[in-house]
A and B are shown apart, each in its own frame.
Chain A
Amino acid sequence: MIEQKLITKNIGKIDPKSLASYMAFNGYKMLRKALRLGKEHIIEQIEIARLRGRGGAGFPMASKLKAVATQLVTPKYMICNADEGEPGNFKDRYLIENNPHLIIEGMTIIAYATGIERGFVYIRGEYKEAYDVLASAIEAAREKGLLGKNILRKGMNFDIEIRRGAGSYVCGEEFALIESIEGKAGRTRVKPPFPTTEGLFQKPTLINNVETFATVPTIIEMGGKAFSAIGTESSTGTKLISLSGNVRHKGVYEVPFGVSLRDVIKTLGGGAEKGRKIRMVQLSGACGPIIPEYMLDMTIDYDRFEIFESKTGAGAIIVIDDRFDMFEILVRIGAFFAHESCGKCTPCREGIFQMNRLLEKFNEYRATEADLQLLETLARTIHQTSLCGLGQTAATATISTLHYFRSKYIDRIEKSSLQEGVTNA
């Protein structure tokens, strides 16, 4: 059994549009338990669980919780990051559409633990259906005294407001997101300070991904120790994997950390489509590395993925088979980042544009050795000098292919000069 359904356990059984349905499956029982056990206990369990953020960066949640909990400045804010714009990722949409109350419950438990009374869910504007489901759920929770003032008559206040994005992937980056909620363009801020000290409206702010909040009730239920026994040493618990591309069964799968990519792709996803071979796989999203088929025995684990020098925790796997040319894929990825770059810092604003021109040369059989050298230097510079996560990961795909598929570049240069030779003849 490769799958391990902890947070997706009741999806399919619960009616997402019914609070009563959620309650029938022990809904909000963990909130009650958490309120009984107390704030320190909650944070302690999250710490023992070693829960890492599920949005991509993999930052330990307990550190953020402690940082915010100890802030004396008020008000404090919570933001649930539901901007999910990373290509290949749809697990957050899946969670919201199928079990919105799980997220609300997780957020409320954390609100209690950290002394936060105002929460926001920042959801991308394209997710209308998810928005409707979540909005109804929040309304229903309020009516039942599970949100608002004096929740469950235990004296805690917490309410959630939904804010919608308006077509900007970079607003998934924590400070760009904060700027967006504040009513500005989504451009990141100079760090430090960090959101836990000066975030939304310059107040202490806790930001975490949908899946991270959704994992909290499970940890309260089984205890941090049991949670940490699942997965690997560096990456505890389960991860929702968004599997897409040239695979038979696309979808969201919940697996413990430590399973291999091949396990997910073949056993859960059914492997390549009939008659086709897997040529390459992109991990995490457009921001992730592209790896060859022979690396698919690699296990899903935050520390393992560090060899790619990129934050790889969002958990997408995009399978690409032998019908597609690597450069065609790289050009698409480049176009995505060019469109989504906020334009603030030079390496991202100008660098990605220049990198795309070079990738196009490779794609159009016009590439030279000098182009390859420049591409390599440029990609490294974008990676090392960009101001935020978007720029820092925009070149990851290119850098990984320069490492794992270098022969394709050499080959393309050769074919380009032949082509040139043919046209010049």
Chain B
Amino acid sequence: MPNIKINNVQMDVASGMTILEAARLHNIELPTLCYYPDLGIKNDCRVCVVEIEGQKGLVTSCSTQVREGMSIKTHSARALNARKIIVEMILANHDSNCTACARNMNCELQKLAQSLNIEKNRFPSVLDKKLIDEGNECLVRNPNRCIKCGRCVDVCRSVQNISVLDVMGRGHQVTVSPAYGNNLNEVFCSYCGQCAAVCPVGAITEKDDTSIVWNALHDPDKHVVVQVAPAIRVSLGEDLGLPTGSIVTGQVVAALKRLGFSHVFDTNFTADLTIIEEGHEFINRVKNGGPLPLVTSCCPGWIRFAEHEYPEILKHISSCKSPQQMFGAIIKSYYAEKAQIDPKNIFVVSVMPCTAKKYEAKRPEMSINGRDLDVDAVLTTRELSKMIKQMGIDFRQLPEEPFDDPSQTTSGAAALFGVTGGVMEAALRTVKEVLDKRPLATIEFNDVRGIKGIKEASVTIQDKEYKVAIAHTLGNARKIAKQISEGKSEYAFIEVMACPGGCIGGGGQPYGTTNQKRIKRSESIYHIDDASIIRKSHDNPMIQAIYRDFLKEPCGHISHELLHTEYTNRKHG
């Protein structure tokens, strides 16, 4: 255990630790910029430089390991001056029109500049204005704000293994962009938004749909309803002053009501519906000899990835729409009929932890009448948080309010959709119990839980053994897709989520998501399931009712019209 001194305070630290880790452990705040937990050390912003007594020059604390007897000065004149001038250099090549930026007041560069007390920049602006990439439904890339930290390139390459972005050029002219300076919609971007989730500034952000939603809410002719994804209830609180993983389901409903939505629905309801549909799809495929494996379809990032790079496996993907889309379809048919509202006047908003859902909602197949889209606007967790703040709502003081029917009743299985392994577990609970024709001995399927990149499990149904797999991150999705493409997949059923940890790690989640936070959010999801009265989708009486009254039978004619979709080979543009 090396003994070191940081700013004259002695401390014992674990060997192998970096100066940054040692400082943070002892609550000494060391500014960083390119550093991001869970991603590899970049060592390129040079903001975290510190002085080591007796050593010439400065060293970066993110990459320098502690050694016995080291005496570190984090805020010596030299370190501070270096930090200041480095940040001034960055600002001189940065679009500092902060009030126009989505990250205003929530930006790592702003925080840094403020902590360094930079009043006047000694450097003139040398920003060469570049074009903004806003040609897609989900993400906006503004290279004028990019500080070339490399986090987005790293997450897209080493976690998602899609490598849409790279660093182009040399020296001052360096930019981060897709191949040949193309826009995101011109390359194989899945819109997963992991790049936006790790960006320290406003260089990549989600497309802001809050204005569209405000307009709808203010339109007296529109009946504006909203649905809330499973992951939101364990994540939104984090952005509004509550600890990570706080379960805030009731407060989310209350907030949405105060924003002006006439009805607040729980997407968990259509998660249950998805299980019924997809469960029967699985049963049919097993009966008809394939095509197996059946692969889940609720993740639009995964769908886009498969359409781009492995279109030959599209026939394996479930034809079920995602819960978001199923709900839109149900609202504009079943609900509209019951409430006697013209579906043309219903504006459906969904709140999702996801950026790709904005694209999913705009896919032309996602329209039951072939003209009007089932879901009209998608807000990320971050956008909802913004709207709540705009409205001046004190989220923590809100009472708990219930979702509106038909989604007042949902199962614990539905809540699991928010985590990796959750869709699989929900599906297995139903498929096994329905086929075995006897109650499950154990409700939990522990083998499908956890953060391992690809999980495998074995389930016995009707005395037959079925292998299943669960993959999260597109890097692991690629391995699965390749296996299927090469005919080497031994699984009967596979769940794929594009984001690390599943939806609770989505591209639209509160900034600063780390593995630790993902685990905390997942724990809350499992807690919600544990505490639910109904644990399995097929036990949900409201689901039974919708089939009885409307859909008639799973995978039947009406289901196919409303709740199923198609995919497109997008390999060649």
Contact = CB atoms under 8 A, between A and B. Distances in A.
A386 B47 CA distance: 11
Contacts, number: 96
Interface string A341-354: 11111111111111
B174 A349 contact: yes
A346 B88 CA distance: 10
Given A185-B167, A190-B41, A384-B57, A352 B46 contact: no
Contacts of B44: 344-346, 387
A381 B82 contact: yes
A349 B171 contact: yes
B95 to A, nearest CB: 15
B126 A381 contact: no
Given A343-B170, A345-B45, A350 B82 contact: no
Given A341-B171, A341-B172, A343-B172, A385 B49 contact: yes
Contact of A352 (B42, B90, B172, B174): B172
B484 interface: no
B202 to A, nearest CB: 18
A185 B170 CA distance: 9
B171 A385 contact: no
A381 to B, nearest CB: 5
Given A190-B43, A344-B44, A387-B44, A349 B82 contact: no
Interface residues of B, number: 35
Contacts of A185: 167
A374 B171 contact: no
A377 interface: yes
Given A343-B167, A385-B82, A350 B92 contact: yes
Interface residues of A, number: 34
A98 B466 CA distance: 70
Contacts of A387: 43-44, 46
A339 B173 CA distance: 9
Given A345-B45, A377-B81, A338 B172 contact: yes
Given A381-B81, A386-B46, A387-B44, A346 B167 contact: no
A386 B86 CA distance: 10
Contact of A351 (B65, B89, B148, B170): B89
B45 A350 contact: no
A378 interface: yes
A385 B170 contact: no
B170 A345 contact: no
Given A340-B171, A341-B170, A352-B172, A385 B89 contact: no
Interface string A310-351: 000000000000000000000000000011111111111111
10 contacts: A190-B63, A339-B171, A341-B171, A346-B89, A347-B86, A350-B93, A352-B171, A357-B126, A384-B49, A384-B78
Interface of A: 168, 185, 187, 190-192, 309, 338-354, 357, 374, 377-378, 381, 383-387
Closest 3 CB pairs of A and B: A343-B174, A350-B89, A341-B171
Given A346-B45, A357-B126, 18 more contacts: A190-B43, A309-B56, A339-B171, A340-B170, A343-B170, A343-B173, A344-B150, A347-B86, A349-B171, A349-B174, A350-B89, A350-B90, A350-B92, A350-B126, A351-B89, A377-B81, A377-B85, A381-B81
